[in-house]
A = this chain, B = another copy of it.
Amino acid sequence: MEFYKQHPRFLVAVDCVVFGYEEGELKLLLYPRAFEPEKGNWSLMGGFVQENESSEQAACRVLKQTTGLNDIFLEQVNAFSEPAREPSERVISITYYALIKIGRYKKSKADEFGAKWWPVNELPPLIFDHSEMIQQSLKKLQQKAGSSLVGSELLASKFTLLQLRKLYEAIYQRSFDPGNFRKKILSLDVLDKLDHKNSTESKKGAYYYKVKPNKLEKELERIVKY
Contacts and interface: CB of A to CB of B under 8 A. Distances in A.
A203 B10 CA distance: 59
Nearest to A53: B83
Q: Is the interface of A mostly helix, strand, loop or mixed?
A: loop
A54 interface: yes
Interface in A168-212: none
Nearest to A221: B225
Interface stretch (A15-23, A73-81, A108-116, A148-156): A73-81
A89 B79 CA distance: 21
A25 interface: no
Contacts of A54: 81-83
This chain: copies in complex: 2
Interface residues of A, number: 34
Contacts of A9: 9-12
Interface string A25-50: 00000000001100000000000111
A218 interface: no
30 contacts: A1-B36, A3-B35, A4-B88, A4-B91, A7-B11, A7-B48, A7-B50, A8-B48, A8-B49, A8-B50, A9-B9, A9-B10, A9-B12, A10-B10, A10-B12, A10-B49, A12-B12, A12-B92, A49-B92, A51-B83, A51-B90, A52-B83, A53-B83, A54-B82, A55-B79, A55-B81, A55-B92, A76-B78, A79-B79, A79-B94
